[in-house]
């Protein structure tokens, strides 16, 4: 009998360690809470809001809310599923997400969550923002149309690569992924294809310049198995990133 402290998530006891967030504890217990900007290896960002849960009448993001003993947390409710669907639709509407021409289609966590939440359309009118791509790096291409501003590249670059190359710059609808270099181009940084930051993007924003479209439709990550059943993965993580 463990005397580890617990909280309740949708009626299920979830043990947690001191300093855990609700998301970290649920993740360790193998209970899926939808998310995009959370990654177990990096500091929480709390920006995508997909992990909204209800904590004793209050709506909070599970990735930033500390776990505490005897909390009653609800995640899989009709209302929260509706909120998450609208959040996903907002993310689609505020970028330029043309899935049929995207290298990451089928392996994309944004798309996979949309499928899982039953999204059939945008609900909101698309913004069609003008976003400038960056092709200056010899091995990497940056397609800002698809960026969801989760800052996973920034966190991986800082916390894993210790290079601090990627950041989010600008404000409001002008927020965009940027690079710490004199001319603002990725090609002028020390970024390398093997960096952790080059392999953490949950969508199709940071891409290798070669070797794309390796899997046929039907054999891609999320073609058969929904994201809630396998977790947030990239096709190049060997099934380990989110474990």
Partner 1 sequence: MTTKKVRVATCSLAGCFGCHMSFLDMDEALIPLLDHIEFDRSPLTDIKTATRCDIGLIEGGLCNEENKEVLHQFREQCTYLVAVGACAINGGVPAMRNHLSVQACLEESYLDGLGVVDAQIPNDPELPALLPKVLPLQAEVAIDFFLPGCPPPAAAFLELVQAVLEQRAPNLDYASRRFD
Residue 202 contacts partner 1 per CB under 8 A: no
95 in contact with partner 1 (CB under 8 A)? no
If one asks whether residue 85 binds partner 1 (CB under 8 A), the answer comes out as no
What is the bridge-based pairing of β-strands 140-142 and 206-208?
antiparallel
Token representation of residue 228:
């809630």
Q: Measuring CA to CA, which residue among 243, 236, 156, 234 is closest to residue 192?
A: 156
Q: Which of 83, 45, 50 is nearest to 64 (CA)?
A: 45
Name residue 52's beta-bridge partners: 61
Closer residue to partner 1 in complex, CB, 14/142:
142
CA distance readout (Å), 121 to 83, 91, 116 = 15, 12, 13
Q: Is 32 near partner 1 (CB under 8 A)?
A: no
- Chosen residue from 24, 65, 105, 149 binding partner 1 by CB under 8 A: 105
CB 36 within 8 Å of CB 232: yes
100 binds partner 1 (CB under 8 A): yes
Tokens matching residue 15: 């043990």
* Binding residues with partner 1: total (CB under 8 A): 28
Q: By C-beta, is 143 or 151 nearer to partner 1?
A: 143
Q: Least separation, in Å, of the C-beta of 111 and partner 1?
A: 6
The CB-of-108 to partner 1 minimum distance in angstroms stands at: 9
Cα separation of 243 and 233, whole Å? 9
**Looking at 58-66, 99-107, 152-160, 177-185, which segment touches partner 1 (CB under 8 A)?**
99-107
Output the smallest distance, CB 105 to partner 1, in A: 4
> Per-residue b/e over 27-43, b at no fewer than 16 CB within 10 Å?
beeeebbbbbbbbeebe
- Judged by CB, which is closer to partner 1: 18, or 100? 100
Closest CB 143 distance from partner 1, rounded Å: 12
Asked if 226 is part of the footprint of partner 1 (rule: CB under 8 A), the reply reads: yes
Among 46, 66, 122, 230, binds partner 1 (CB under 8 A): 122
DSSP output for 14-31: EE--TT-BHHHHHHHTT-
Q: Which residues would be at the binding site for partner 1 (CB under 8 A)? A: 92, 96-102, 105-106, 111, 114-116, 118-122, 125-126, 128-131, 217, 224, 226
């Amino acid at each position: 009998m463990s005397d580890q402290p617990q909280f309740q998530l949708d009626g299920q006891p979830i043990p947690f360690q001191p300093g855990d967030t609700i998301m970290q504890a649920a993740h360790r217990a193998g209970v899926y809470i939808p998310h995009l900007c959370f990654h177990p290896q990096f500091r929480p960002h709390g920006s995508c809001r997909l992990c909204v849960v209800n904590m004793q009448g209050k709506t909070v993001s599970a990735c930033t809310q500390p776990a505490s003993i005897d909390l009653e947390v609800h995640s899989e409710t009709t209302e929260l599923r509706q909120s998450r669907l609208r959040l996903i639709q907002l993310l689609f509407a505020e970028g330029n997400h043309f899935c049929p021409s995207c290298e990451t289609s089928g392996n994309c966590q944004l798309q996979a969550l949309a499928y899982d939440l039953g999204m059939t359309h945008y609900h909101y009118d698309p913004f069609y923002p003008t976003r400038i791509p960056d092709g200056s790096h010899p091995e990497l291409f940056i397609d800002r149309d698809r960026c969801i501003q989760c800052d996973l590249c920034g966190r991986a670059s800082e916390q894993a690569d210790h290079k601090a190359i990627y950041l989010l710059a600008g404000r409001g609808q002008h927020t965009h992924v940027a690079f710490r270099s004199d001319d603002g181009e990725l090609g002028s940084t020390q970024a390398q294809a093997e960096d952790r930051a080059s392999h953490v993007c949950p969508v199709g924003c940071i891409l290798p310049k070669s070797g794309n479209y390796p899997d046929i439709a039907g054999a891609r990550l999320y073609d058969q198995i929904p994201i809630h059943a396998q977790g947030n993965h990239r096709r190049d993580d060997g099934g380990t990133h989110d474990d």
